[in-house]
Copies of this chain bind each other. A is one copy, B any other.
């Protein structure tokens, strides 16, 4: 059996109340007993059971992290930065990949509530705001990251996706492209990116002509390939493609290669996220960079301050994307 507070109390010849006070540094305990108890704790290698204290209303120091897919580099990098910041303050993360499936999202939330997590960090891809609102109402700390939630009463660390899309389009337009394809999954942030994208077109008196539709596939690389082929087969194929994440962009480049087009000579490609993939892809990917490290840190900080009750008002922090020019885009040559 594991050592309990009773063992410590008995060994130190004090009451469990005293031991508890020593552990939590509460109340007034004489230096002498304090030292004695601490010695026994070390000697017995006593580790307080967190389940028990959680039952009494203390924090579990565990946070639920809901993301679409930990195998997607953007999310694994984000998860890592969140984890690191949490670790500094003694928090652990329960990781849940939802695959954009509502049923999974709900299941995980219910389950983690039963496990008394201290709060939820929810990454983009979550379309199911009802469930989140429910958490807020129940006064369970929730923070959203990498997805904006305007008109919604939740702490949020987001990227200015609109600006991201605008940046991407502007870059391409500047290079002379007029017919630009877009590939994206139908989630909130991408709708924003698309809005920004169209805004830039409009400002340049360009029209959004491609035969666009949101992808549904889970496998982004394949989806990128597929859409690329579709675009390239069309009567007026685009000369550039804006892929709403780096994985998709990788698919575009591969798809282009398969039909003998080289990037960027025949087709310019711009991605989104600036994950490790962007540096590995050939040609190195021009992409819109999200400040992943920062987003992770900020959202964890918000989470912690919600848990400790330091901050009561809700807030929305919007970080700005930036263009990272590499080699996958070039001037349109006709």
Interface residues of A (CB under 8 A from B): 47-52, 54-55, 60-62, 65, 69-71, 73, 76-77, 79-80, 83-84, 87, 90, 92-97, 104, 108, 110-116, 221, 250, 254, 276-277, 279-283
| A62 vs B62: C-alpha distance when bound (angstroms) | 12
Task: Output the least CB separation between A111 and chain B (Å).
Answer: 7
Determine how close the nearest CB of chain B comes to the CB of A216; give it in whole angstroms: 20
Q: Which chain B residue lies CB-closest to A48?
A: B114
Which residue of B47, B87, B110 is within 8 Å of A110 (Cβ)?
B47
24 A-B contacts (beta carbon < 8 Å): A47-B113, A50-B114, A50-B116, A51-B60, A70-B76, A70-B79, A70-B80, A70-B83, A71-B73, A71-B76, A71-B80, A71-B276, A76-B76, A79-B95, A83-B97, A87-B104, A90-B111, A92-B111, A92-B115, A93-B94, A93-B95, A254-B279, A280-B280, A282-B282
Q: Is the interface of A mostly helix, strand, loop or mixed?
A: helix
B92 touches A92 (CB 8 A): no
**What chain B residues lie within 8 Å of A114 (beta carbons)?**
47-50
- Check B92 against A94 for contact (C-beta < 8 Å): yes
Closest to A104 in B: B87
Across the interface, which residues of B come within 8 angstroms of A54, CB to CB?
51
Could you tell me the distance between the alpha carbons of A229 and B38 in the complex, rounded to whole angstroms?
54
Q: A71-B76, A77-B71 are in contact. Are A49 and B116 (CB under 8 A)?
A: yes
